[in-house]
Amino acid sequence: MKLIVEKNYENISRTAANIIADKVLAKPGIVLGLATGSTPIGTYKELIKMYKEGILDFSEVRSFNLDEYVGLDENNPYSYRYFMNENLFDHINIKKENIHVPDGKAENMDEYCKDYDRLIEKAGGIDVQILGIGENGHIAFIEPDTSLPIGTSVVELTEDTIVVNSRFFNSVDEVPRTAVSMGIGSILKAKSILLLANGRRKADAINSILECERISTEIPASFLLLHPDVTIIVDEEAYSKSK
Ligand code: F6R
């Protein structure tokens, strides 16, 4: 595991975008694993900037997002597909047919989830997976539990996550209780992983990985320690409990 400690959020975003940019330049048909939430917004802004400056070309890039709320479609401003359109896809030249965000309204969810993992495999697997981390140690929507889903699945959100994510909604009652999320196996199959975290409220979660001696399903992010190519980029606040 490689750890990069940056001064602040802007620096995390620039460093992450530079790592991703190098990979896109080296492999124009790269498969990106993408996350939503507050954390990657700055990285996406940097990537958009590089596209607008003519440094990056996304015309051959393929992408797979980690998760989506069950019941929301891309026209719903609270959906992750809408978020991705607003914060990245609408501003770069990625082809619509190369974008994959789990469908929160799929009819047969079990079949759909299996197909999502098959589609990733057919694309050659994820080259670089971008991750944020929940305050409770979740990655994607893989919540702390006594066991974790291996493949893409429908998952129940914990009360903690519902409350934390309610900041994106009008009220906590509007937050869906379930989501479609890649599983821990889907994530660990990525060739490389970039986990980003900023702010003091992520310090415990980051510390629980950095100080981890035994992986635990109660800290889903601890499974990343089994992966051979993980880079964690944090700011000083997120690192503050690990010094
Ligand atoms: C989002 C996702 C989540 C977030 C995590 C952190 O696609 O999978 O695991 O990365 O909840 O969210 P933020 O970045 O909003 O603090």
Residue 14 has pLDDT above 90, yes or no: yes
Ligand 1 mean position to 129 CA, how many Å? 13
User: Residue 122 gets which letter from DSSP?
Assistant: H
Q: Rounded mean pLDDT of 20-30?
A: 98
Residue 243 has pLDDT above 90, yes or no: no
- Do the beta carbons of residue 68 and residue 103 sit within 8 Å? yes
Quick check: CB of 38 below 6 Å from ligand 1? yes
Domain 2-235 has CATH 3.40.50.300: no
Share of the chain above pLDDT 70, in %: 100
Residue 30 has pLDDT above 90, yes or no: yes
In the chain, where the domains are located? 2-235
Q: Rounded mean pLDDT of 161-174?
A: 94
- Do the beta carbons of residue 41 and residue 87 sit within 8 Å? yes
Q: Is 159 a catalytic residue?
A: no
Q: Rounded mean pLDDT of 170-175?
A: 95
Quick check: CB of 216 below 6 Å from ligand 1? no
- Residue 213 has a pLDDT of 92
Q: Rounded mean pLDDT of 134-148?
A: 97
Quick check: CB of 132 below 6 Å from ligand 1? yes
The closest-lying atom of ligand 1 relative to the alpha carbon of residue 67 is: 7
Question: Starting from the edge strand earliest in sequence, which strands make up the sheet with 62-65, in order?
Answer: 2-6, 230-235, 192-197, 128-131, 31-34, 62-65, 99-100
Q: Is 67 a catalytic residue?
A: yes
